[in-house]
Structure 1
């Protein structure tokens, strides 16, 4: 029984150290130093069967309060009215450029191939990426993200959240997982170890893209156009953060658990291609999450149960501080009261996704 308690205490301390490490980001009051500037920016959007979303959200992109930008939308072999909608918008606004991609046998359904064509079409040296189902939080989104570029900073990590389109538990779980992931990749970047970004809100220079030879090192993988590129290219010198409330985007979340799990399976499948140090740190953190709860339950049946409850209370206080302050930055404070339950649900969902990926390969870009 003593061995169980010692194991619980050791794992608990490891897990707590991670959350204490997240304090640096959670308690930071301002992000990377922003310098107001009117940089020439190309917004890049890859759209596949996104006619309805383009009708709803493309006007918000074109209405950005920035003096010098274009919007490059790649129609990635869509089977719906995506191209027709884009041509209508182009007639009304010459800043919109269309790249019409046909299926290529060598690169069939490969989003990276489509994005590469869009990047080559862009005329501006600063590239800002988002998705067709994303809406900027304000008309200053483009200016906020691009203002973090400097002579040294060529990669900008932003927050891409999800709409509160229902009061369902699934909506809260999706948003909590997104917040939890953001806490990690923003914190790691704050430590000087940037390891990923999200394509819903990510910027880098065309110079950086070509310096890395584009997506060449992982072009054979259909997923990972955002996180694998950042994992390869980002370092503590060239990466900046943007978590200004005006620099956030919101996306349409999945409406059923099966679709969300399918999406997460794709995302998780590329993590094994991260750099070794990142895989190790992320793996230890997840293992400490899972083992903490398993050993906590076991310790409750030992004479040391009161120590386990005290440790849990301390952990909740530290976690709550991290999630509340991070949630304020990203407009997700309503999730704070549910974080213990959502954390447990997420841990087991991630374990199921990991096992499912071992059994069969996930599907990719639709």
Structure 2
């Protein structure tokens, strides 16, 4: 039994090392272009979908209106708001020359509300490029728009994946949110750089409108809860048409959930979407998360078994000793590699998680992925519609 455990542990650690050293290192070593607005800057429509976001819009819209870019507009999709958003948009944005809005008055059974709002926004967009964000996000600088567009280096690039960190708050929940956000970015940015893009985040995502309509928009997943960003990108992104933007000036800071209940609802939606990914993406992500969990679980099991052997006076065979040393050495090397490479990425991505906390983050994410996997397996599909 101990031999099988050690072999399984060694395989799991080996898979992890392949991802860390050959995939994640691409993000750690990536050199972002310093370019700002390209000489032939395409006009852009910034789209913000908002459902009862009055307070957030009063803070966000002036920041969007003040972007340093030659030709753009901001289109707010007011989706059935009842909190004073409509009155604010009708009466208080006259000084924001770039801002327009469209009111949506009802839901439609054939499509989820946010996908409907985004589809209407894209149809009404007057420019060939759209940049998406959420009402509770804040661009890091007035160069956010220009920096994202700068990655449209030629006509073959249709999609730019940005990063959206969460604000730092005290507490375990906030640390978990930031850790999960960082590691999600490590995965989607690194795999995009490796020529295997599979998702983006709607809090900071740019693409050409032709890409949306040429691929029938959200049609194939119009009734799926969530997926207005990652499922769409999963369908249309390729190695040739996708770029990433890691310039700190182009980050959009988001407000994190403050209760475990709200966060669980958000994560439930995200987990529900993953099963609709392309088969290749599911295999790659499954290997990554599965080996991550097994690296720690089998390590703990092996540690307990070794302790049991010591207490009972049981001796190891020569083969078992060799496997134990190899697996333990690989685990330590993998831990140090994770610490160095993901820590470096965290430094680049707004110091999302302090580098000293990398080992804590590593174990925390293994526990999170393990519990999330069990939850997905044993829970029934949730058919309720959440707007966000």
> Which residue does the alignment assign to 1:152?
156
> Which residue does the alignment assign to 1:289?
292
8 Å CA contact 1:44, 1:130 repeated in 2: yes
Deviation at 1:33, TM superposition (A): 7.1
Q: How many residues align?
A: 365
Q: 1:46 to 1:144 in 2, by over 3 A?
A: same
Q: 1:233 to 1:109 in 2, by over 3 A?
A: closer
8 Å CA contact 1:176, 1:335 repeated in 2: no
> Which residue does the alignment assign to 2:367?
348
C-alpha separation between the residues in 1 aligned to 2:247 and 2:364? 29
> Which residue does the alignment assign to 1:365?
387
* Corresponding position: 1:171 with 2:174: yes
C-alpha separation between the residues in 2 aligned to 1:306 and 1:255? 43
8 Å CA contact 1:14, 1:288 repeated in 2: yes
* Corresponding position: 1:325 with 2:326: no
Q: 1:32 to 1:278 in 2, by over 3 A?
A: farther
C-alpha separation between the residues in 1 aligned to 2:372 and 2:9? 25
Among 153, 175, 187, the alignment partner of 2:190 is 187
RMSD of aligned residue pairs (Cα, Å)? 1.9
Deviation at 1:36, TM superposition (A): 2.3
8 Å CA contact 1:299, 1:308 repeated in 2: no
Q: Deviations over 1:58-81 (max 9, x none)?
A: 211111111211000101111211
Q: Secondary structure at the match of 1:61?
A: helix
> Which residue does the alignment assign to 1:10?
11
* Corresponding position: 1:24 with 2:26: yes
Deviation at 1:244, TM superposition (A): 0.6
> Which residue does the alignment assign to 1:36?
38
Which range moved further: 75-84 or 98-107? 98-107
Which range moved further: 350-359 or 5-14? 350-359
Structure 2, unaligned stretches of length 5 or more? 307-315
Deviation at 1:360, TM superposition (A): 3.1
Q: Secondary structure at the match of 1:106?
A: coil
Q: Deviations over 1:55-102 (max 9, x none)?
A: 122211111111211000101111211212222343222321111111
> Which residue does the alignment assign to 1:243?
246
Deviation at 1:284, TM superposition (A): 0.9
> Which residue does the alignment assign to 2:311?
none
Q: How does 1:183-332 map to 2 (within 5 A)?
A: 183-300=186-303, 301-302=305-306, 304=321, 307-332=326-351
Point out the structure with max Rg over C-alpha. Answer: 2
Q: Secondary structure at the match of 1:162?
A: coil
Q: Deviations over 1:9-66 (max 9, x none)?
A: 1111111111112112212232597662432010001001111111122211111111
C-alpha separation between the residues in 2 aligned to 1:318 and 1:253? 29
C-alpha separation between the residues in 2 aligned to 1:272 and 1:199? 19
Deviation at 1:107, TM superposition (A): 4.4
Q: How does 1:130-145 map to 2 (within 5 A)?
A: 130-145=133-148
> Which residue does the alignment assign to 1:161?
165
C-alpha separation between the residues in 1 aligned to 2:263 and 2:363? 17
Q: How does 1:23-102 map to 2 (within 5 A)?
A: 23-30=25-32, 36-37=38-39, 38-102=41-105
Deviation at 1:352, TM superposition (A): 2.8
8 Å CA contact 1:110, 1:222 repeated in 2: no
Structure 1, unaligned stretches of length 5 or more? none
TM-score, scaled to structure 1: 0.94
Q: 1:210 to 1:229 in 2, by over 3 A?
A: same
8 Å CA contact 1:172, 1:335 repeated in 2: no
Q: Deviations over 1:139-168 (max 9, x none)?
A: 10000001111211011100011111x222
8 Å CA contact 2:163, 2:245 repeated in 1: yes
Q: Secondary structure at the match of 1:75?
A: strand
C-alpha separation between the residues in 2 aligned to 1:17 and 1:289? 12
Among 314, 336, 344, the alignment partner of 2:355 is 336
Q: Secondary structure at the match of 2:48?
A: strand
TM-score, scaled to structure 2: 0.89
Q: 1:244 to 1:112 in 2, by over 3 A?
A: same
